[in-house]
Amino acid sequence: MNLGAIARHRLFWPLVALVLLLVASALKSPAFLEVTVRDGHLFGGPVDILRRSSVLLLVALGMTLVIATRGIDLSVGAVMAIAGAVALSQIAASPDPGALSTVLLAMATALAVALAVGVFNGFLVAVVGIQPIVATLIFMTAGRGIAMLITGGQITTVTSAPYKTIASGYWLGLPVAALIAAFVFGVTALLTRRTALGVLIESVGINPSASRLAGVRARTIIWTVYVICAAFACIAGFIKSSDIMAADSNNAGLFIELDAILAVVIGGTSLAGGKFSLTGTLVGSLVITTLTLSITILGIPVNAVSLFKALVVIAVCLLQSPVVQHRMRSRRRRVAPVPVEVPA
């Protein structure tokens, strides 16, 4: 593959942004890229990025599948809040918060509630035919209220070693949160690319009516992706609440739906639906997490954080856009040596 083809690759500019952010952070704070081993665990900037990006990656993976069907799910942040609220309330109410069985049971309950939200979203979109943005807006706004009801308006805190492991634990030297995200990524990849689910999702996203006439269960597939999306958001909610060992219904996963949509778009999946790329979403999630981290390291004033984030995202999206790509290519061609005129 020549350089031009590499530069034209969908993920070229997101990767360049990622490398630039890492290099800038390392220049500012040389210890940033160092990875050290302490107590058999890996520590350092890159490990931190992996750990922190797990939440966004989980949400963005579900979002990728939803977007591929021409949909969108705004309720993911609220689902995170509900998941944390349900799990922590149940743990807090149990006589033995530190027992593994308590934690697993609480997580199962939370997952069941999240799945119910996903089923509801999917029902509104696939069966009732409400536009996805409106259908999921319901839980985006109502979901946090439900989470508040569950926690009784309090920020529920617990002490539970097994639950704490989700966000802060290490296994084989790596953060458990990153391993969970990697596992889910692997499962999603297998689920979509080793079965026919991926191509059927794409087919429904590209042309729903043609897919239905081709015998594809379009309705079931659309329904399924909303359930998957809610399940992944639920796992992200576990990590988030485990991180602070508290269920903060107001702030858990606040605005994460926007970051997740951005990660998907940066990864090259079109909001118009159809072809999707899980690897692209992985890169997109890493870019956004690194961006958030490097803002702190680069010492950018707190007031300017959103602006800086917006600038980087705009730059990446512009460089990826077909129009800009085309312009750059034709400029390169114009600079190339003029071919010798062949006499007629």
* Residue position matching structure tokens 């705004």: 74
To other proteins, the closest distance from the beta carbon of 192 in angstroms equals 9
Within a 13 Å sphere around the CA of 229, how many CA atoms are in the beta-carbon half?
34
Distance CA 45, CA 39 (A): 17
Which letter does DSSP use for residue 127 in this model?
Answer: I
- Within a 10 A sphere around the Cβ of 256, how many other Cβ atoms? 25
| Contact predicate 125/135, CB 8 Å | yes
Q: Compare residues 38 and 329 and give the one whose CB is closer to other proteins.
A: 329
DSSP assignment of 277-303: -HHHHHHHHHHHHHHHHHHHHTT--GG
- Tell me if 274 contacts other proteins by CB under 8 A: yes
In the list 16, 24, 140, 206, the residue contacting other proteins (rule: CB under 8 A) is 206
In the list 117, 221, 225, 291, the residue contacting other proteins (rule: CB under 8 A) is 221
Count of residues of this chain found to bind other proteins when the rule CB under 8 A is applied? 22
Nearest Cα neighbor of 52 from 277, 320, 333, 296 is 296
Helix (H, G, I), strand (E, B) or coil at 18: helix
Distance CA 231, CA 267 (A): 21
- Tell me if 188 contacts other proteins by CB under 8 A: no
Q: Could you tell me which stretch among 14-22, 59-67, 75-83, 199-207 binds other proteins (CB under 8 A)? A: 199-207
To other proteins, the closest distance from the beta carbon of 337 in angstroms equals 18
In the list 29, 165, 168, 207, the residue contacting other proteins (rule: CB under 8 A) is 207
Q: Compare residues 199 and 318 and give the one whose CB is closer to other proteins.
A: 199
- Tell me if 211 contacts other proteins by CB under 8 A: yes
To other proteins, the closest distance from the beta carbon of 201 in angstroms equals 9
- Tell me if 214 contacts other proteins by CB under 8 A: yes
- Tell me if 203 contacts other proteins by CB under 8 A: yes
* Residue position matching structure tokens 């085309």: 326
Q: Could you tell me which stretch among 80-88, 89-97, 202-210, 317-325 binds other proteins (CB under 8 A)? A: 202-210
- Tell me if 239 contacts other proteins by CB under 8 A: no
| Contact predicate 192/198, CB 8 Å | yes
- Tell me if 190 contacts other proteins by CB under 8 A: no
Distance CA 277, CA 60 (A): 11
Which letter does DSSP use for residue 123 in this model?
Answer: I
List Cβ<8 Å contacts ≥24 apart for 294-298. 294/21, 294/22, 294/24, 294/25, 297/25, 297/28, 297/29, 297/32, 298/24, 298/25, 298/28
To other proteins, the closest distance from the beta carbon of 224 in angstroms equals 9
In the list 6, 196, 324, 328, the residue contacting other proteins (rule: CB under 8 A) is 196
In the list 30, 194, 337, 341, the residue contacting other proteins (rule: CB under 8 A) is 194
Distance CA 290, CA 21 (A): 7
To other proteins, the closest distance from the beta carbon of 274 in angstroms equals 5
Q: Compare residues 160 and 211 and give the one whose CB is closer to other proteins.
A: 211
In the list 10, 41, 164, 212, the residue contacting other proteins (rule: CB under 8 A) is 212
Strand extents, DSSP E, 201-281: 246-247
| Contact predicate 293/46, CB 8 Å | no
To other proteins, the closest distance from the beta carbon of 188 in angstroms equals 14
- Tell me if 164 contacts other proteins by CB under 8 A: no
- Tell me if 199 contacts other proteins by CB under 8 A: yes
To other proteins, the closest distance from the beta carbon of 57 in angstroms equals 24
Residues of the shown chain interacting with other proteins in the complex, contacts defined by CB under 8 A: 194-197, 199-200, 202-203, 206-207, 209-217, 221, 274-275
